[in-house]
Amino acid sequence: MELLKERILRDGVIKPGNVLKVDSFLNHQMDIDLINQIGQEFKRLFADAPITKILTIEASGIGIACLTAQYFNVPVVFAKKSQSINLDGDVYCTKVESFTHKRIYDVILSKKFLTADDYVLIIDDFLANGCALMGLIDIVQHAGATIEGAGIVIEKGFQCGGKAIRKTGVRLESLAIIESMTDDSLTFA
């Protein structure tokens, strides 16, 4: 998606530790026109899939998932990062290691919002080592729902997540894949 790549080059800021900050347009301040176009692109890519629900993880995925969901006319459900070990039996629970915060979270989703009848599109802002996406896939599998695919806005292709997810057979569509990133420049695949 050229518009997205241009925006990353113009406004993305590379931070130490292989972190790309895109908080002026994607995950802090949000450019709604751009994210609408991202949603339309996901719709174009998954037009053939019988999606009934969009699944994401808080917090950065939520806005992107919501604008995308308008084009599929389906609900969004987001997995919550839980601090609590007081979980009742009505939730799916998995563990996710945060790439940006370097800690492990319990991630939960209420069982009533994802069932075996659902066809799920997973949406997230970044794919790095794949922990967040693997956690979401785990939840969908526990629900017995069908994974139609995953839509990622920015894949850091030099990290291992993309390869690991593609190996599982899950259909993965990334709108911008960064091939390499140094302290002051990046290139796309």
Question: Strand 186-188 to strand 172-181: parallel, antiparallel, or no bridges (unpaired)?
Answer: antiparallel
> Interface with ligand 5GP includes 126 (CB under 6 A)?
yes
Q: Does 127 bind ligand 5GP (CB under 6 A)?
A: yes
Q: Is 68 in the site for ligand 5GP (CB under 6 A)?
A: no
Site string for ligand 5GP, 4-43 (x = CB under 6 A): ---------------xxxx----x----------------
Smallest distance, ligand 5GP to C-beta of residue 48, A? 26
Q: Which is nearer to ligand 5GP, 47 or 189 (CB)?
A: 189
- Based on C-alpha coordinates, what's the Rg of the chain? 16
Q: How far apart are CA 162 and CA 158, in angstroms?
A: 9
- Shortest separation between residue 127's beta carbon and ligand 5GP, angstroms: 5
Minimal distance in Å, beta carbon 89 to ligand 5GP? 27
Interface with ligand 5GP by CB under 6 A: which range of 2-10, 69-77, 112-120, 127-135?
Answer: 127-135
DSSP state of 87: -
Minimum gap (Å) between residue 15 Cβ and ligand 5GP: 8
Residues 134-163 touching ligand 5GP, rule: CB under 6 A, are 161
Which residue lies nearer to ligand 5GP by CB, 39 or 135? 135
Q: Which stretch binds ligand 5GP (CB under 6 A): 76-84, 106-114, 125-133, 141-149?
A: 125-133
Of 52, 97, 41, residue with least CA distance to 76: 52
Kind plus residue range of the DSSP H or E element containing 4 = helix 2-11
State how far the alpha carbon of 30 is from the alpha carbons of 6, 36, 185, in Å. 16, 11, 23
Q: What is the DSSP string of 22-76?
A: -TTTTSSS--HHHHHHHHHHHHHHTTTS---EEEEETTHHHHHHHHHHHHHT--E
Quote the CA–CA distance of 129 and 97 in Å, as a whole number: 9
Residues that bind ligand 5GP (CB under 6 A): 19-22, 27, 60, 99-100, 124-133, 161
